[in-house]
Amino acid sequence: MAEDRTSKVRALLDAVRAGAHRAHRARGQGDRRRVRHRRTRRGAGDGRRRGRGVRGAVRRARGDEDRIAGHPAQDRCRRCDRRSGGAADVRAAFCRIVENARAYAPGARIEGVQVQELLPQGQEVIVGAVTDPTFGKVVAFGLGGVLVEVLRDVTFRLAPVDADEALSMLDSIRAAEILRGVRGRPGVDRWAVAEQIRRVSRLVADFPEIAEVDLNPVIATADGAVAADIRVILSTETPKERRRYTREEILTSMRRLMQPRSVAVIGASSESGKIGNSVMRNLVDGGFAGEIHPVNPRADDILGRKAYKSVTDVPGEVDVAVFAIPARFVAAALEEVGRKRIPNAVLIPSGFAETGEHELQDEIVAIAERLGIRLLGPNIYGYYSTWQDLCATFCTPYDVKGGVALTSQSGGIGMAILGFARTTKTGVSAIVGLGNKSDLDEDDLLTWFGEDPHTDCIAMHLEDLKDGRAFVAAARETVPKKPVVVLKAGRTAAGAKAAGSHTGALAGDDAVYDDILRQAGVIRAPGLNDMLEYARALPVLPAPRGDNVVIITGAGGSGVLLSDAVTDNGLSLMKIPADLDAAFREFIPPFGAAGNPVDITGGEPPSTYEATIRLGLEDPRIHALVLGYWHTIVTPPMVFAELTARVVAEFRERGIEKPVVASLAGDVEVEEACQYLFEHGVVAYPYTTEQPVAVLGAKYRWARAAGLLGAAHDVRRRGAGRRVRAGRPRDPRAHERHWTGALARTFDARGAIDMTTTDVTRVVAYREVTDRNGRVYRVGESDIDIMGRKRKWMVILPWIGMMGISSAEYAFASAEDTLHEAHNWSSGSIYWMMTAWVFCQAAVAFPAGRLRESGRLPARWAMMLGSVGTLLGYLSLAFAPHVALAFIGFGVFSGMGAGMVYATCVNMVGKWYPERRGGKTGFVNGGFAYGSVPFVFIFHGYMDGTNFRWVLVACGLFLAAMVAFAGFYFRDPPKNWWPAAIDPLNPPDDPRARRSLEKNPPAVKQYSPLEAWQTGRVALMWFCLACTSGVNIFGIAFQVDIGEDAGFAAGIVATAMSLKAIVNGTGRGVIGWLSDLYGRKQCLLYVCAILGLAQFGIIWSAEIKNLPLFLIFSAISGFGGGAIFPMFAALTADYFGENNNATNYGMVYSSKLVSGLGAGMGAVVVGAWGYNGAFTLAGCISLFAGIVALFLHPPGRTKGKHITPNPRPLGEG
């Protein structure tokens, strides 16, 4: 372990040092300085022995050109500040340094003398990284050297950063202009500095054991950037992994929490003054339309509702359990909630981690994770969901509906929120207390509120974040749709106390929070009142379309203060052009002032206010208005308010929407005027010039972050697109710069991006909508946008891949005689080898699906592994010296490879054709049979004991190449993707898609594998497929034998087998097409019946020795045996959604683990009962499977089969 860590340190130090790239140009003879290099050290608490090992590795890593002495004293005596004129000078300097070292420390072991290049004077900057307890790896940049400790001018980003983010950091510090060059000094090479930042961010991301990194100073010049001092602190601590939920899982759970149909109150009471009574009374009196179930073992009736002894006694489903019992009883009650399968628990009680009872809180979290319960709390006041008339709290009720969602970590802050909302009549969509945040936290709520059509703005009070990166990810998803305001409490420098580097000391809690929240597009409020005012006002203001702000005021003093506020909030006062200045002067008195602010003076009548406001709204060069009103008798406050509201409304009706804010100075009447303006879409405040402009500034910050106004370096616009590899076009000097290769080689060895290229994303807008069941659809992106070609290729390529693996199953029986003669293997061994192949092909489907959907096994690599398995199978059949090796090579490796190919291909086409998956899935499935047709004839008619090896090798190479070729071009669509041309919420124009969706409506949600299994449908599908596929495999194995036993010629029997394969493939495509027209379940029932009856037909035709009938029934059997697979593949996606279809269908397809015994067990049954008995049993099994299939129906679709659109789809409102 120590050697491994040492080698990693050596590699990363090589990388950082190699990262000091610069142009090799002729340097001037100005002032030069020697750059020191310190040894990398470990943190104080990590142990001296390992520290010495790391230091030794660092010394060796620096190479011959960068040696350091082994004793700290040598750092001071090894310096040589001179330019070497030649070999003699170097030799003399060497001797002098060694003599000084021995004089200083006679017992020291001198390892060498460091020789370095003298660098020109440049700007010192710091590039570093630190492990933040909230956000993980964070990269930092700022002015370096002594200035970093004095000015603390540093900015932070989440690591890793790309080139654009790194470059934006140079503009995010206060001293950005120094880097561009001031007072005749040249600017620094910005791309070189940005590249240093990017590389350091990649290093800490690639090496989790790095706690902190300092490159301070980095000498930045016009020609490059060189790290003069490197410090790396390692840590052996492994951060605790937090369970991450998918977006679909969060939305599913939050939907039942915020929109419940049934609530149970555990600890409900009829006694006034108790929390359980307050919660019950608020639920009942608030008008909640769902079911309310009080739970109290000592009561029969509470507030007119039947009380239950235990939550497990409550009838029907329950969405939320609200706990109003002491902390010590929560764990036991939570077990009962789990047995009842209630998905959400709201824990009001205190007495957990906030009082030091960490073990008690850990216990309930463990119970909840084990039982699949999401926890809100503990130690909270409850929550309000006003649009559901839900008031699950022991505090005062609140029912004013609106678009603001408010959350707080503190109960006291929650009550302040409630009081503010009541005072200002702010309509809210929800108020949620988070308390100890044992489970549900801000990122869960952000994910929900971001999709909630009733929420227009989200405001959050927080003291900390459990998972900063998850919060940033949720914020980046939400900010483009609606503003997110955060009040971060607890500004502290505690993080600097334990820091071991400059970067660590600079990364105080608030510094990192401030930069990264800004990076995520979040609006940070300086105080509680600011947060509440932002939340109240931002939904009122339209988004600005430009930067030009104009102030119109009736008081010069207010104009000055408003101007200061505009500057303080990062806004831009418009420079009034001459024609606009002249237009304003037409309405103001001669002693007034145009320009900006426009001062109309205080004695002007209402007409002057109206005329200037109209001009400000009408001129397209003005993008926002700030109004300053001074209370006079000439224009009373309400007159000003009414005329302003009327003019603004008039322009908005004409489609001209600009943000307008107002500051009203005057007597108490201005308070009523402000309230009137607020209610009519103009944000107005009395007695203050700062507040209205602060709100306007917050609106501008959100508009920039959402991509509605200019470019925001720190916020990625929501969208998706194909990633295009491109060169580095932005820096005009890039072709002149020398790039050192050591870091590129180090990164390439770990599979990272080469440093000379960058990723460019072509952003394609999309939106997400839901139907009435909450199913999410991602619409707006076409197949061309995502992968650069038509989606039909995701049918053709999987079809080719399926043909590449088909011969191993459907042509294997034709090779049996040759393998028996050539290797002297018994027929039983050969049949069991086929059984092993089927077993492994089915066994790998589920784990392959899990790996695919987790991102650990990309589609391309799954296909490549399948290609290798295909080749190994044929090579083992050709050259295996013993049947056991053939079992391993063909039965295991080829079977597993085929399973990966099968699972990947079937899943791929279903994702690309969610609206017509039956026909497409059937066509691709048909390739699994078509591909075997030529090989049936090759194995049966051409291959013999003299040429079998080369035939098998040639076939293996050809088929493996087919699979590899197809897989190389595979590409998955994004999760929840729906074709851009198809409206998922309304009947599509395409009649084929409309008919298919009517007969086979999509799943009501994206089911996880566990949820799919719990519906019971997976077990039914598994049983049906086990029966029918077992019959199919039995027929493949014994159709040739029963034909020959009936006296039919071998060539004719081979023809029958080929015909079976052809019809098998055709059946898959035809039944898929028919299922789109008539419904998947109906077609499945017919297929089971056809397959079963065909077995009896084969017996009859063989008995009467009628070859035409034998061929017909063989073909019908092949049709039925092939058609079952696309039916279940499509049904699985129809019932459980596309996102987890690879895993869900893997569970269903794993039934072949049993049905694969059809060949081996068939041999046993044939030996005992003969062909007639075996085929009769097969027919009965298939018919029984059809009876079981009658019980299949889509889970969760209880209100009809048709899609019903949400009246206000998410993402559109």
Q: Does the predicted TM-score (pTM) go above 0.75?
A: no
Q: What is the DSSP letter of 942?
A: I
In a domain, 1049, yes or no: yes
The residue that leads in pLDDT, 801 or 991, is: 801
Least confident of 18-27, 229-238, 450-459, 1151-1160: 18-27
For the residues of 803-855, what is the DSSP string, one character each? HHHHHHHHSGGGGHHHHHHHH---HHHHHHHHHHHHHHHHHTHHHHHHHHHHT
Answer with the one of 741, 765, 788 that is the final residue of a domain: 788
pLDDT of residue 1045: 73
Residue 758 has pLDDT above 80, yes or no: no
Q: What is the DSSP string of 1013-1044?
A: HHTSHHHHHHHHHHHHHHHHHHHHHHHHHHHH
Residue 84 has pLDDT above 60, yes or no: no
848 touches 904 (CB < 8 A)? yes
Q: What is the mean pLDDT of residues 798-813?
A: 84
Region of poorest pLDDT, from 53-67, 664-678, 927-941: 53-67
pLDDT of 491 higher than 70: no
Q: Could you tell me if 932 and 1075 lie in one domain?
A: yes
**1004 to 510, 770, 775, 1135: CA distances (angstroms):** 43, 10, 5, 8
Lowest mean pLDDT among 227-231, 445-449, 647-651: 227-231
* Per-residue pLDDT reduced to its tens digit, 505-540: 545 557 888 899 998 999 999 999 999 999 999 999
Please report, for the domain that includes residue 641, its CATH number.
3.40.50.261
Residue 7's pLDDT is 62
Q: Alpha-carbon distance 683 to 662, whole Å?
A: 6
pLDDT band at 1058 (very low <50, low <70, confident <90, very high): low
The angle that helices 793-810 and 895-912 make with each other, rounded to 10 degrees, is 150
pLDDT for position 389: 94
Q: Which residues contact 620 (CB under 8 A, 6 or more apart)?
A: none
Query: Is residue 497 very low, low, confident or very high in pLDDT (cuts 50, 70, 90)?
Result: very low
- Whether residue 105 is predicted with pLDDT greater than 60 in this model: the reply is yes
Does 496 or 663 have the greater pLDDT score? 663
Task: Pick the closest to residue 436 from 460, 417, 408 (CA basis).
Answer: 408
Examine the pLDDT at 821 and tell me if it is beyond 90.
no
- Please say if the pLDDT value at position 28 is more than 50: no
Mean pLDDT, rounded, for 643-648: 96
Is there a contact between 128 and 213 (Cβ–Cβ < 8 Å)?
yes
Q: What is the pLDDT of residue 241?
A: 75
The predicted structure's pLDDT at residue 5: 54
Say if residue 837 is in the same domain as residue 948. Answer: yes
Report which secondary-structure segment, H or E, holds 141.
strand 136-143
Residue 216: pLDDT band (50, 70, 90) is confident
pLDDT tens profile 965-999:
999 988 888 878 888 877 777 766 667 777 777 78
Domain boundary among 390, 425, 445: 390
pLDDT score of 71: 36
Whether 406 and 340 share a structural domain: no
Residue 354 has pLDDT above 50, yes or no: yes
The rounded mean pLDDT for the chain is 80
- Is residue 57 over pLDDT 80? no
Alpha-carbon distance of 1212 to 1027, in angstroms, equals 47
Answer yes or no: do 450 and 554 share one domain: no
- The answer to whether residues 1136 and 1004 belong to one domain is yes
More confident residue, 11 or 1008: 1008
- Span 813-837, average pLDDT: 81
- Tell me what pLDDT residue 750 has: 28
- pLDDT higher than threshold 70 for residue 66: no
**Could you tell me if residue 159 is inside a domain?**
no
**pLDDT over 70 at 801, yes or no:** yes
pLDDT at 721 over 80: no
State mean pLDDT over 473-500: 76
Q: Is residue 399 within 8 Å of residue 286, measured between CB atoms?
A: yes
pLDDT of residue 756: 26
Euclidean distance between CA atoms 416 and 225, whole angstroms? 51
Are 864 and 999 within one domain?
Answer: yes
Is the domain of 923 the same as that of 1048? yes
Q: Which residue has the tokens 């900390």?
A: 464
Give the CATH number of the domain where residue 376 resides.
Answer: 3.40.50.720
Euclidean distance between CA atoms 57 and 44, whole angstroms: 18
Give the confidence band of 1198 by pLDDT, cuts at 50, 70, 90. Answer: low
CATH of the domain at 1006: 1.20.1250.20
Round to whole Å and give the CA distance between 450 and 482.
7
* Same domain as 274, residue 377: yes
The DSSP 8-state label assigned to residue 261 in this structure reads S
818, 917: one domain: yes
Amino acid at 396: T
- Is residue 565 domain-resident? yes
Mean pLDDT of 1067-1081: 80
**Could you read off the pLDDT of 861-888 as tens digits, one per residue?**
889 999 999 999 999 998 988 888 988 9
Tens-digit pLDDT profile for residues 30-39:
332 333 344 3
Tokens coding 1120: 């039925």
Residue 24 lies in a domain: no
- Does residue 24 carry a pLDDT above 60? no
What b-and-e string marks burial along 896-919, b requiring 16 or more CB atoms within 10 Å of the CB? Answer: bbbbbbbbbbbbbbbbbbbbbbbb
| Section 635-645 average pLDDT | 95
In this structure, are 909 and 854 located in the same domain? yes
297 and 439 fall within a common domain = no
The end-to-end CA distance of the chain, in Å, is 55
pLDDT for residue 91: 81
Give the lowest-confidence range in 128-132, 185-189, 311-315, 727-731: 727-731
The yes-or-no verdict on residue 273 having pLDDT over 80 is yes
Q: Please report the pLDDT score of residue 446 as a whole number.
A: 96
The average pLDDT across 759-773 equals 53
Q: Last residue of some domain: 322, 357, 390?
A: 390
In percent, the amount of the chain with pLDDT more than 70 equals 81
- The confidence score (pLDDT) of residue 563 equals 94
Domain of residue 966, residue span: 789-971+990-1189
pLDDT digits (tens, 9 = 90+) for 302-326: 999 999 999 999 999 999 999 999 9
pLDDT surpasses 50 at 358: yes
Burial 642-664 (b: 16+ CB within 10 A, else e): bbbbebbeebeeeeebbbbbbbb
In a domain, 218, yes or no: no
In this model, does residue 722 exceed pLDDT 80?
Answer: no
pLDDT band at 603 (very low <50, low <70, confident <90, very high): confident
Residue corresponding to tokens 């199919």: 1032
Asked whether residue 844 falls in the same domain as residue 772, the answer is no
Please say whether the beta carbons of 471 and 244 come within 8 A: no
Residue 820 lies in a domain: yes
Query: 24, 115 in Cβ contact below 8 A?
Result: no
Lowest mean pLDDT among 163-167, 399-403, 617-621, 1122-1126: 1122-1126
- Check: CB of residue 670 under 8 Å from CB of residue 636: no
Half-sphere exposure of 59 (CA within 13 A, CB side): 17
Q: How far apart are CA 1053 and CA 814, in angstroms?
A: 10
Domain presence at residue 1208: no
User: What single letter denotes the amino acid at residue 887?
Assistant: F
What CA–CA distance (Å, rounded) separates 1148 from 1146?
A: 5
How many independent structural domains does the chain possess?
Answer: 5
Label residue 742 by pLDDT band (50, 70, 90). very low
Q: For the ranges 653-657, 739-743, 1096-1100, which has the lowest average pLDDT? A: 739-743
Q: Bridge partners of 118?
A: 34
The answer to whether residue 732 scores a pLDDT higher than 80 is no
When pLDDT is averaged across residues 211-218 and rounded to a whole number, the result is: 89
Residue 331: pLDDT band (50, 70, 90) is very high
Q: Is residue 22 included in any domain, yes or no?
A: no
Residue whose C-alpha is closest to residue 660's, from 675, 644, 688, 682: 682
Spatial distance between the Cα atoms of 693 and 161, rounded to a whole number of angstroms: 33
Segment 1011-1033, tens digit of pLDDT: 888 888 999 998 988 888 888 87
